[in-house]
Structure 1
């Protein structure tokens, strides 16, 4: 492999990922000392925002920021609209999710860490896993930000379709979380013996997670428009294997949510909590687990 392939992408990804894991380790050390998990989700969202900012502005690389590498006082930053949109959507999502999860953690805590936060070594593993999540999930954004603006093609049909997917996914996540918060507030103390089955929750048992996966597929589709141009650039900016690496982002998010830490954990918890609630089992049998569909009728 020609080492020059790593020049453009690597000089952005390496500092960005170092910052990512630096945040995780710093926040872990504070949280382990205080034996609290309340900053976990907030640190994750902050990492997304900071890493995206670093990959976009690249403060360590003056030549990639300014039009001709000369004095910044005389020249404007050169950023392609694709990079602005890709970074902006990531900022919006991370800020929303971080504030949402942080406020929930302040109110209800996080049962996952009840015992783990008292064991520093094991607690660190969770923070490092979060670092991997931040690195892989937004990898297409970091990569498209590493490609010089002059190499980016104009926005096209694939970009608009990717933006539409992202917007649909974000709307699903936003509305689903709002509906569940409203339902939980209305149901009050009956929460532990009830479940939400209205609104988007009538189409899928996990509309917020569906939206999460969909928006990252949209982000990948939007960001990847620049990869072919980078491959065909006269100077070697990106290799074929590196361009394919970005597709692991939506795949990783989907596998993580549907097979590892998202849906499986919630399904087991709901089955345990609502094991004697007949209506729940009918709802579960009639309603899609992940992809929204009209509920099946006449389910006994």
Structure 2
């Protein structure tokens, strides 16, 4: 049986975080629909991650949450600092990267949507769901009092290594593609990148993205077994919350590999490069997602 006081507190943290998330999406949609622009979409998505992380960690609606019964400040646990800082670092990087790209090249996803308010609103709503589910383990670990967290262990270390490796993979892949596109110039529409990490995977940036969220789930979930100080038989988080958190890395991977990431790019590349023989050879010998050494294809 779960202590109802702690369950309601964790639920309060989660609900307030979600309100902040969808409030940002609604504000972003209102301005963007009025201006008929998509340029703020990714920027506000990343901003929502940062705001939601702050809300879940510091609980600004109730300052008393930061103090114990004696009135002393309750220190954050290193796991909470790790989970929150990695999320903010990733959001700052991705937000600036995508915003700069949108300013330079626009976003073809919204060419026919930004002038249709209902469909445009749906896309902003989907972004809210993305923010909510992707960093859900982080929000939940922040909802647990710092003094109740179990010590940092092997799971946390493994999770941080995965996060660091995935983040590095994403940054390097994006940097390599930026350099390639700058070098190729106007020939972009008849060319494709196949060097560096892109020789091991057709979408190495997306692979890194999925890996880092698996890592984030691992070190965030290290706190899910936290129990009440006055009753070691009772866990702080309810079972449904900890099970829901598993959706985070699964959701990100399915979204990227089956819905809005890789499928859209694959269709676009197939259309754009349909007459380029070298592209089809590259596609046959290079893994779509998980990096592997290229497999030679017979001529």
TM-score under structure 2 length normalisation: 0.95
Correspondence list, 1:109-124, <5 A: 109-124=106-121
1:154 corresponding residue in structure 2: 151
| 1:77-92 paired onto structure 2 within 5 Å | 77-92=74-89
Match of 1:182 in 2: 179
1:69 is displaced (CA, Å) by 6.9
For residue 138 of structure 1, what is the aligned residue in structure 2? Answer: 135
Q: Distance in 2 between matches of 1:233 and 1:27?
A: 44
Which residue number corresponds to residue 23 of structure 1?
24
Cα–Cα, structure 1 residues 209 and 270, in superposed 2: closer, same or farther, change >3 Å? same
In structure 1, runs of 5+ residues without a counterpart are: none
State the distance in 2 between where 1:140 and 1:230 align.
Answer: 17
**SS of the residue 1:118 aligns to:** coil
How much has 1:64 moved relative to structure 2? 2.1
Name the structure 1 match of 2:241.
242
* Residue aligned with 1:86, SS: helix
> 2:59, 2:236 → 1: CA distance?
16
* RMSD between aligned residues: 1.6
Taking structure 1 as the reference length, what is the TM-score of the superposition? 0.95
Give structure 2 stretches of 5+ with no counterpart: none
- Find the residue that maps to 1:76 and give its secondary structure: coil
Q: Match of 1:51?
A: 52
Matched with 1:210 is 207
Q: CA deviation at 1:2?
A: 6.4
CA contact (8 A) 1:62 1:69 kept: no
Q: Distance in 1 between matches of 2:222 and 2:235?
A: 17
- Taking the aligned partners of 2:274 and 2:30, their CA distance within structure 1 comes to 39
Which residue of structure 1 aligns with residue 223 of structure 2?
226
Residue 36 of structure 1 is matched in structure 2 by 37
Offset at 1:280? 0.4
CA contact (8 A) 1:8 1:237 kept: no
